[in-house]
Structure 1
Amino acid sequence: MRSGPALLALVLTAGSVAAARPASSPALMAAVKASTRSPANVARDRYRHPVETLRFFGVKPTDTVVEIWPSGGWYTEILGPYLAGHGTLYAAGPDDKGLAAVKAKQSAAPSAYGSVRFATFPAGPGATSVPAGSADVVLTFRNVHNWRFGATDRTQAAFDQMFAMLKPGGTLGVVEHHLPEASGTIEEARSGYMKRSSVLAYATKAGFRLAGESAINSNPKDTHDYPKGCVTLPPGFADGDHDRARYAAIGESDRMTLKFMKPK
């Protein structure tokens, strides 16, 4: 029986599975407890499980890590201090506006974020990109659905670029709003939820292989069927005060946590 957050990993095998790369617990715990983190972000730890998630992805403090589309910098607040001493963190966003929050954090707390590098993602011709084959780990948190929105599906191009920036044997960690396979008429491109099979298809086509998955960020209370999609739930509360207590009781969305490897 699944035990929710206490279940650290459900590993799928298709042949052999690469051994986990254990994170350094003292350094990671120190980063999660860093005084530079905002109280609002700390309050979401119970939904986002940063220690368990980064341990599952095997992020080490000496790694070169790329955080894709960091947005407000929720994970940057942890990854910055964690990698500041011996590792490298790239914040990769669509443009300067998409990286503005991280740059503001860097200005306010250079000791925690001063070594963060910036890159464009997805990177077009002439853009500042993450060097090919340079990253140990690429992380993307709740972004895959954004690449599916609109008339043009940009998802495959995104996975192709993430594959290119990783070293052979490198890890791609994906956390995404989870849409059950038998979800009928709920649309991925509009709801903000993605089916596991869809994410797996994009990753596999790019060249990745699935190394494991975890129930760390799952939420069995999520019914996935809200008219305004996943942002109906906290912290978005897209319906305002309508049924707010009910959505608050559900908590944040049901999320899949998938670990992919670039073959050596």
Structure 2
Amino acid sequence: MFRLSRIVTLTALLVSVAATANPALEQAVNNPLRSAEFSQRDQYRNPVATLSFFEVTPQSTVVEISPGAGWYTEILAPLLAAEGKYYAAHFPATATGFGQRSRAAFLEKLAANPAYSKVEVTEFAPTPGISIAPAGSADVVLTFRNLHNWYMAGGEEAMLTAFSHFYTALKPGGVLGVVEHRLPEAQLETDWTRTGYMPQSLTITLAEQAGFVFDSSSEINANPKDTADHPSGVWTLPPSLRLGEQDKEKYLAIGESDRMTLKFRKPLN
């Protein structure tokens, strides 16, 4: 009976996985635009499963917050080119220092390939007065490993401001997808504020304060090997490996950080 039960359970799981497989997302992830360096990180970022969980389709209007060097741009741009819309909300044009260099490199990347011609670059900062997309236009807003930067720069107020921008851009019923380095709840009493890890409980609380409804979470991007207590915070782990050769093999064996994957919705009314 036990063995039969296991077979039935495994069969149901396989049917469920097959039913939720998304050929369009798989094609976008395997497209020739993607660099080998970026593709190597799929094992940690799980783009097909992650975008499926966030309900991204080829017809979606998607806003990606702080796309950086364009890791997800290489997937989202071709996915959305024909029937959808992709807003890349990068550093403001008035940014200086790293922000200025990062935005310039991103724009250069887009200009170098006509496949990116439909990407619309907007601006984002966790401050008032920013428009990441026309109000009420987005089906999905995505943010990948950005929350800690806003928290480190401006605490809960900055995060609430960011969430308010996302809320404004989304259609009623639209999805906010959050992936972030996850601090174990048992470490809330430690000095975690500069480690790059964020508490999942605080993330949910602040999103709800901004008006969102928490929909669900996923362990797609979990890494149980990550203890989140490393000497140089999350940057101890790959790909940063901030300690250089010191204990490098140890941190490579851990892999990239443990990440929360959270889905929120803007209420219908």
TM-score (norm 1): 0.87
SS in 1 for 2:187: coil
Aligned position for 2:165: 161
Q: Which amino acid aligns with 1:107?
A: A
Q: 1:114 to 1:186 in 2, by over 3 A?
A: farther
Partner of 1:139: 142
**Which amino acid is 1:130 matched to?**
A
**Contiguous gaps of at least 5 residues in structure 1:** 1-21
What does residue range 180-195 of structure 1 map to in structure 2 within 5 Å? 180-195=184-199
Of 199-208 and 144-153, more deviation after overlay is shown by 144-153
Letter in 1 for 2:217: E
Matched, 1:95 2:99: no
Higher relative contact order (CA 8 A, sep 6+): 1
Q: 1:130 — aligned with what?
A: 133
Q: Distance in 2 between matches of 1:133 and 1:169?
A: 10
Deviation digits for residues 162-203 of structure 1 (CA, Å, limit 9, x no counterpart): 111100000000000000111154334201000111100110
> 137-146 or 90-99: which moved more?
90-99
State the partner residue of 2:152: 149
Are the aligned partners of 1:94 and 1:122 in contact in 2 as well (CA < 8 Å)?
A: yes
SS in 2 for 1:182: helix
Which residue in the other structure is 1:109 paired with? 113
CA 65–212 in structure 1, closer or farther in 2 if over 3 Å, else same: same
Change (3 A) 1:125 1:200: closer
Structure 1 residues 23 and 82: alpha-carbon distance in aligned structure 2, compared to 1, 3 A threshold: farther
Q: Give aligned-pair identity as a percent.
A: 51
- Equivalent in the alignment of 2:46: 49
Point out where structure 2 has 5 or more consecutive residues left out of the alignment.
1-18, 94-99
TM-superposed CA distance for 1:95, in Å, is: 2.0
Q: Find out whether 1:63 has 2:60 as its counterpart.
A: yes
Which residue is 1:201 aligned to?
205
- Between 1:65-74 and 1:116-125, the stretch displaced more is 116-125
SS at 2:142's partner residue?
A: strand
Deviations 1:113-163, CA, capped at 9 Å, x for gaps: 110001111376775541111100000000000001135541110011111
Higher helix fraction (1 or 2): 2
Three-state SS of the structure 2 residue aligned to 1:149 is: helix
1:175 aligns with 2:179: yes
> How far does residue 34 in structure 1 lie from its aligned partner after superposition?
1.1
What SS is found at the alignment partner of 2:215? strand
Structure possessing the higher radius of gyration over alpha carbons = 2
Task: Check 1:74–1:23 CA distance in 2 against 1; reply closer, same or farther (3 A cut).
Answer: farther
**Cα RMSD (Å) of the superposition?**
1.8
Q: Which moved more, 1:214-223 or 1:152-161?
A: 152-161
Q: Give the Cα–Cα distance (whole angstroms) in 1 for the partners of residues 129 and 188 of structure 2.
A: 42
* 1:241-260 alignment, distance < 5 Å: 241-260=245-264
